Structure 1
Amino acid sequence: MHATPAGATVRSRVRIPLRFADGYAVTAEAVTFHGLADGAEHVALVLGDPTGSDTPLVRLHSECLTGDVFGSARCDCGPQLREAVQRIDAAGGILLYLRQEGRGIGLYNKLDAYALQDTGLDTYEANTALGLPEDARDYTAAAQMLTALGVRKLDLLSNNPDKARQLDDLGILVRTTVPTGVFATGSSVRYLQAKAQHTGHTIELACVAG
């Protein structure tokens, strides 16, 4: 186990209303930070009452402009974000919105990978064809954010085993992993299957076969 890098502190806290396309609305406390290891402007959204338990529900959600903002059906990011906000608000916890577009390769590279996917490659093969990592995400800053918020133990809302592994290595205890829903469309089935097959995401493929 590695020690969490020191130095991250809370910069500001502000309450902001959130509203989704289906009408669901909630208020979150947005928290920003000084001293994050990668220098990116990640933000924590504190939802519900995380003080009600010593093990809050937490999601590490990587930014996805196409899915989160524009509603692209090529991935499940937008529906996962919507689900996570409601579930975390009900349970009390934190959503870390991490500036890691395209699994860490950036927006332009992600769109280049989309073009290759249109020729038949899956999402991971497309990254590799571009000379990029299948998944370039590092969760050091996420561990720093959690530590600055006083969270050293959590329940992780995720289908991605790498998130739990990295947090454990960084000194954040993941008590249990709580799977997200499966949000399949005709455009995203291959994407979901690739996540399950390449990186061991806990996605029930029978749910996305139809």
Structure 2
Amino acid sequence: MPSIPHPEELLDYTTSCLLPTPWAQFTLHAFVEHSTGKEHLAMTLGDIHDGEPVLARVHSECLTGDVLFSQRCDCGAQLEGALKKIADEGRGILLYLRQEGRGIGLVNKIRAYRLQEAGADTVEANLQLGFHADARNYELCKPMLAQFGIKALKLMTNNPRKIDAMEKLGVTVSERVPLLVNRNAFNNGYLNTKEKKLGHMMQTPVEAVAEDGQL
């Protein structure tokens, strides 16, 4: 049986540069994954080495949403919203993982879009193509965060599985920060499916309390 690599053996830190954005001037860091050659990124701002929980976003690549402004998902708006929140805080990190289409790749994501246009939801489309509903893997986060000495996060996410993944890696999630953005006519069904089938928390705290009859 092959040995399981230590986290430090999963990827290499290569280089960094300054990256001015509309919200702040971040530092952009590049990593290369050993097994695939994929290039993953981190964007950092402020003093993140002081041991305090760091405002963070773990963002999976979505070319259609992040680059092509697709309204079929909320990915591009989440990316922009997370960077703005980090800029407002003056301190934080965004990990950009190259796992397009919840890990199935760009071409298969487009195939899944075709199935959705024929009536499947996002989970059904992935399953019809022979994939898991969510095939992402977050093990690379540990060595990426370790590069900056980060052990605790205030994690911007609506996905409880992402929180569980961080904690299984030994990364403390001290707080979940909701990131609810850009619900529209094109992605309403997609967001509802994420809530109903994948357990995403797609309500604001106030809405959740009201639904429980506590307001």
Alignment of 1:124 onto 2:127: no
Q: How does 1:31-50 map to 2 (within 5 A)?
A: 31-34=29-32, 39-50=37-48
Alignment of 1:17 onto 2:20: yes
1:162-206 per-residue CA deviation (whole Å, 9 max, x = no partner) reads 111111111111111111023211000000000001111110297
1:22-48 per-residue CA deviation (whole Å, 9 max, x = no partner) reads xx3421101112565654211000024
CA distance in structure 1 between the aligned counterparts of 2:34 and 2:57, rounded to whole angstroms: 18
Q: How does 1:92-171 map to 2 (within 5 A)?
A: 92-171=91-170
Q: Is contact 2:49–2:149 with CA below 8 Å preserved after alignment?
A: no
Q: Is contact 1:74–1:188 with CA below 8 Å preserved after alignment?
A: yes
Q: How does 1:162-201 map to 2 (within 5 A)?
A: 162-201=161-200
| SS of residue in 2 equivalent to 1:50 | coil
Q: Is contact 1:66–1:72 with CA below 8 Å preserved after alignment?
A: yes
- Of the three residues 36, 60, 63, the one matched with 1:62 is 60
CA distance in structure 2 between the aligned counterparts of 1:173 and 1:37, rounded to whole angstroms: 27
Q: Is contact 2:180–2:203 with CA below 8 Å preserved after alignment?
A: no
1:131-185 per-residue CA deviation (whole Å, 9 max, x = no partner) reads 1111110001112201122111111110011111111111111111111023211
TM-score, length basis structure 2: 0.86
CA distance in structure 2 between the aligned counterparts of 1:159 and 1:146, rounded to whole angstroms: 20
| SS of residue in 2 equivalent to 1:180 | coil
Total equivalences in the alignment: 201
The equivalent of 1:86 in structure 2 is 84
- The alignment's C-alpha RMSD in Å is 2.2
CA distance in structure 2 between the aligned counterparts of 1:181 and 1:93, rounded to whole angstroms: 19
Segments ≥4 residues shifted beyond 6 Å: none
Q: Is contact 2:62–2:100 with CA below 8 Å preserved after alignment?
A: yes
CA distance in structure 1 between the aligned counterparts of 2:147 and 2:187, rounded to whole angstroms: 36
Give the partner amino acid of 1:101: E
CA distance in structure 1 between the aligned counterparts of 2:17 and 2:117, rounded to whole angstroms: 41
TM-aligned CA distance change 1:65 to 1:146, over 3 Å: same
- Report % sequence identity: 42
